[in-house]
Structure 1
Amino acid sequence: MKFNLNSIQEKWNRENPYDFSGLKAVFINCTLKKSPSLSHTEGLMSMSQTIMEANGVKTKMIRAVDHTIAYGVQPDMTEHGWEKDEWPAIQEKVMDANILVIGTPIWLGEKSSIATKVIERLYGFSGKLNDKGQSAYYGRAAGCLITGNEDGIKHCSMNLLYSLQHLGYSIPPQADAGWIGEAGPGPSYLDKNSGGLENDFTTRNTTYMTWNLMHLARLLKGEFPAYGNIRNEWDESNHEHPNPEYR
């Protein structure tokens, strides 16, 4: 899905002095709708994707519900009783990318059940270490985008961004954005006369998030200083517990 950018977005793309070529981004859309149904969440995500592609970032949009993803918190759930699990192939794409953006609708004030499953499966890989002994997600940037017809953008964003940083992702400034329509049943982001596409606050914050993700990913380029965060060094040390008297 291509997104028509406004004049300031196009200007920033055209005059960009930074080299983002070589960066890769994965967008995981956690809508409950299978393809080819229209996803309003994907509509908002496509704005960010279009900006990234205009600046040389290679992107991939994944609609999680289109895949058979097993429940669980292990890298491959076929090793734990499930007959089929397509998550490992998605995980490979995530690990090949410098940037991860998770998009979700709001249901009952929370991120979608698919988004919860995606976070759980990402968590299942957090025990893997990179060649420096850090969590495998170190050196990568992440953000999130939220849509819906009820309150909860910041609540869902807090949950997602906390989860992603806990796994090892780096979170740039203003790493979330969203759009919600009038409370109750009504038009969604892409619907005619919803006001979503014309909402300056949403457009601005999505643009900021996108550029901040690219800037941070360019600075990191897969590397995060490996000092004071090496799991094996901690586990293998015979460190004492010097303060038992203060229990």
Structure 2
Amino acid sequence: MKALIINCTLKASPEPSNTEALATVVAEQLAKDGVDVDFVRAVDLDIKPGVTSDAGAGDEWPPVHEKLLDSEILVIASPTWLGRLSSVAQRVLERMDAMMTETDEEGRPVAYNRVAGVVVTGNEDGAHHVISEISGALGDIGYTVPGQAWTYWHLGPGPGPDYVDDERGHDWSHKTGRAMAANLHSVARALADRPLGSPPG
């Protein structure tokens, strides 16, 4: 089984990413369960605006789209900015919109029988709002979003330290991240055993 974690930080490599640091907790638990985990830092790529799977010359989204189709588990990891998901996360979701009309050999939307979850970090409040927005979009695209398929970290409203600079709250965020990973893996296995069929006409 494969998992893809798309880190939607605004920080280009090799700058350290708080969001990737927390997402790594989820990745490590998935790996313990035998899942092959791959990371993509979307900001490092030239992802064109649009709602297609291939926007033409220079677009670096198509290889990410192939990774999505090759993975049973997806995690969208985003920082919180101004109480909202990052602009990079929004761009990723807009490009994933194309998957709503792409079908597999049995006529199912290509996101069917795949599971997804959300990781959020930020030194301001808004994590539940970001989780809701991303989870809702993933459900629209066709992913199954299990119960408690998220984790987040922040220290309350207003500005503050970064995740990698402050140990407060890590125990809860890590425990929740490991539970998230377990739930994603369990539901992915259940769907593999009893997949969703084609939607009624």
Choose which of 126, 132, 142 in structure 2 pairs with 1:158: 132
Q: Name structure 1 gaps, 5 residues minimum.
A: 1-22, 235-247
**C-alpha distance after superposition, 1:51-80 (max 9, x if no partner):** 1112211010100000010000011111xx
What residue in structure 1 maps to residue 185 of structure 2?
A: 214
Structure-2 change in CA distance of 1:222 and 1:188 (3 Å):
farther
Q: Residues 65 and 34 (structure 1 numbering): CA distance in 2 closer, same or farther, change over 3 Å?
A: same
- What's the offset of the Cα at 1:120? 0.4
Decide which moves more: 104-113 or 198-207.
Answer: 198-207
1:132-162, CA deviations, whole angstroms, 9 ceiling, x for partnerless residues?
1111100000000000011111100000001
**TM-score normalised according to structure 1 size:** 0.78
AA partner of residue 33 (structure 1)? K
RMSD between aligned residues? 1.4
Letter of the aligned partner of 1:146 in structure 2?
V
Q: Which amino acid aligns with 1:112?
A: S
From 73, 84, 88, give the equivalent of 2:62: 88
Larger radius of gyration: 1
Question: Residue 92 of structure 2 corresponds to which residue in structure 1?
Answer: 118
The answer to whether structure 1 residue 52 and structure 2 residue 42 are counterparts is: no
Q: Given that residues 123 and 155 in structure 2 are in contact (C-alpha distance below 8 angstroms), is that contact kept between their aligned partners in structure 1?
A: yes
Aligned length: 201
1:15-164 alignment, distance < 5 Å: 23-78=1-56, 83-164=57-138
Cα separation, 2, equivalents of 1:226 and 1:52: 26
Following the alignment from structure 1 to structure 2, what is the Cα–Cα distance between the partners of residues 165 and 155? 15
1: distance between equivalents of 2:40 and 2:193?
Answer: 21
Asked if structure 2 preserves the Cα contact closer than 8 Å seen for 1:139 and 1:222, the reply is: no
Q: Percent identity?
A: 38
Question: Quick check: 1:181–1:188 contact (8 Å CA) kept in 2?
Answer: no
SS of the aligned residue for 1:125 comes to: helix
Give per-residue Cα distances to partners, 1:32-62, cap 9 Å, x unaligned. Answer: 0000000000000000111111221101010
CA contact (8 A) 2:77 2:118 kept: yes
Alignment partner, residue 175 of structure 1 = 149
Residue range with higher mean Cα deviation, 178-187 or 101-110: 178-187
Q: What letter corresponds to residue 111 of structure 1 in structure 2?
A: L
1:201 aligns with 2:172: yes
With over 3 angstroms needed to count, the CA separation of the structure-2 counterparts of 1:222 and 1:165, relative to structure 1, is farther
Which structure would you say has the larger RCO, counting Cα contacts within 8 Å and 6 or more residues apart? 2
- The answer as to whether partners of 1:72 and 1:124 remain within 8 angstroms in 2 is no
Find 1:224's aligned residue among 188, 195, 200.
195
Measure how far apart 1:181 and its partner are. Answer: 2.5
